[in-house]
Amino acid sequence: MKILVINAGSSSLKYQLIAMETESVLAKGTCERIGIAGGKLTHKANGKEFVIERELPNHTEAISLVLKELVDREAGVIASMDEIDAVGHRVVASGEAFTETTLVTDSVMKTMDEIAELAPLHNPAAILGINACRAVMPDKKMALVFDTSFHATMPDYAYLYAIDYEDYKNYKVRKYGAHGTSHKFVAGEAAKHLGKKPEELKIVTCHLGNGSSISAVDGGKCIDTSMGFTPLAGVPMGTRSGDIDVAAIEFLCRKKGMNMQEGLTYLNKKCGMAGVSGVSSDFRDLTAAQSEGNYRADLALKMFGYSCKKYVGAYMAALGGLDCIVFTAGVGENTPCVRKAVVSGLEAFGVKLDDGKNEYKNDGKIHDIAAKDSAVRILVIPTNEELVIARETAALV
């Protein structure tokens, strides 16, 4: 079975064609600058990279070009589109409308339109991608795989905000979380690596990238997560503030002459690591500046490590124990000093890092970086959200 995984942004479209028997990637690529001048497709297959520079006025043109490449004599990996068994779409937010992977139908798409306002930066783009695929491949089965699904098992006392309960009921304002496919994948891989069943384990998963979130996973089910109603909550991120007293926002808006929308843009785009450091949102730049003695880069990294550590501690309490901490995503997989900052000081709770193992060179494999006598295993696991989307899609169709 072959599954085409689609991750559509407002001006980009990423794809992978995955053969499920071997779970191997046959081809992958990205369409950039959709709807703006300078469209480009970068397609990787058969050990080569193919770049096509062509205007891509909309997502339908982009997906048509992708399909053409997939069956192309040189760049292609399949003889015809019939070989694609189904399409899996990544969707950021599901609200309470969908708690699991769902087949695309007209009525599902109507609900998708209704909940688009929950993730205004992401869901409308996913809808463009889905509609484009439906237009070009009307007969293919398609699945929606939601970033929020894995968090649907959170208990009400964890996902509710302490606002008027009627407002939750009327407007569905609550915590939904994000990065669920990644948390799910690494929690499952951790269990496999440790030779245990997921039901036997209490795990804290740290997805640390440009956007970051931390989840508490009890027996394979998410019981809490750091992101909230939107991906702005939780630990500080590349350019997002993370948790902040909302009264401080009203004060800042007043002082800086921003309206609510501008205030939110400020919190999403100008804060976090970039805002604190004044250097960059990129952890590679931050660690480089830190080693040159830059105070604010050092401060930003310390704030990040401290905030993550507090979540790990809180989730240890929520779980009532801990077997394993997992690090994943760009920063989690590549930045030893961040991993060290997150777990240092937790020795009294049975978390003991092996400094030598922590400094390993990333080879894309799973590494256990805990000391031999650590009661809690510390794993670094490369995430693979596309594979989760493909697996969920294959299972559903």
Stretch that binds ligand ADP, among 36-44, 91-99, 260-268, 324-332 (CB under 6 A): 324-332
Q: 282: helix, coil or strand? A: coil
Structure tokens at 50: 């193919």
Among 54, 270, 284, 302, binds ligand ADP (CB under 6 A): 284
Contact map string, positions 234 to 253, toward ligand ADP, x by CB under 6 A = ----x---------------
Residue 311 binds to ligand ADP (criterion: CB under 6 A) = no
CA dihedral 11, 208, 321, 196 (to 10 degrees): 70
Instruction: Let me know: does 284 contact 261? Beta carbons within 8 Å.
Output: no
Q: What are phi and psi of 15, to 5 degrees?
A: -145, 155
Instruction: Let me know: does 8 contact 89? Beta carbons within 8 Å.
Output: yes
Q: What are phi and psi of 63, to 5 degrees?
A: -70, -35
In the complex, minimum distance from the CB of residue 385 to ligand ADP, in angstroms, rounded to a whole number: 9
Could you tell me which residues are beta bridge partners of residue 13?
A: 8, 31
Q: Cβ-count burial of 37 within 10 angstroms (0-12 exposed, 13-18 middle, 19+ buried)?
A: exposed
Stretch that binds ligand ADP, among 56-64, 149-157, 244-252, 281-289 (CB under 6 A): 281-289
Structure tokens at 370: 């805990």
Residue 178 binds to ligand ADP (criterion: CB under 6 A) = no
In the complex, minimum distance from the CB of residue 226 to ligand ADP, in angstroms, rounded to a whole number: 14
In the complex, minimum distance from the CB of residue 338 to ligand ADP, in angstroms, rounded to a whole number: 9
Residue 330 binds to ligand ADP (criterion: CB under 6 A) = yes
- Rank residues 292 and 373 by Cβ distance to ligand ADP and give the closer one: 292
- Rank residues 144 and 208 by Cβ distance to ligand ADP and give the closer one: 208
Residue 185 binds to ligand ADP (criterion: CB under 6 A) = no
Starting at the edge strand found earlier in the chain, the sheet holding 86-91 runs 48-53, 40-45, 24-32, 13-19, 2-8, 86-91, 141-146, 102-103
Residue 226 binds to ligand ADP (criterion: CB under 6 A) = no
Stretch that binds ligand ADP, among 41-49, 142-150, 218-226, 276-284 (CB under 6 A): 276-284
Q: Which of 72, 106, 139, 147 is catalytic?
A: 147
How many Å apart are CA 92 and CA 231, to the nearest integer? 10
Instruction: Let me know: does 204 contact 325? Beta carbons within 8 Å.
Output: yes
Query: How big is the chain by its Cα radius of gyration, in Å?
Result: 21
Structure tokens at 6: 């689609």
- Rank residues 77 and 329 by Cβ distance to ligand ADP and give the closer one: 329
Q: 147 catalytic, yes or no?
A: yes
Residue 282 binds to ligand ADP (criterion: CB under 6 A) = yes
Residue 77 binds to ligand ADP (criterion: CB under 6 A) = no
In the complex, minimum distance from the CB of residue 190 to ligand ADP, in angstroms, rounded to a whole number: 18
Among 335, 358, 374, 393, binds ligand ADP (CB under 6 A): 335
Window 105 to 144, contacts with ligand ADP (CB under 6 A): none
Residue 62 binds to ligand ADP (criterion: CB under 6 A) = no
Q: What are phi and psi of 380, to 5 degrees?
A: -110, 120
In the complex, minimum distance from the CB of residue 283 to ligand ADP, in angstroms, rounded to a whole number: 4
Q: Tokens 């795989």 belong to which residue?
A: 145
Instruction: Report the relative pairing of strands 48-53 and 40-45 from DSSP bridges.
Output: antiparallel
* Start-to-end C-alpha separation, the chain: 10
Among 29, 95, 180, 211, binds ligand ADP (CB under 6 A): 211
Q: Tokens 């053969």 belong to which residue?
A: 19
Stretch that binds ligand ADP, among 92-100, 131-139, 169-177, 328-336 (CB under 6 A): 328-336
List the catalytic residues: 147
List of residues contacting ligand ADP (CB under 6 A): 209-211, 238, 282-284, 329-331, 334-335
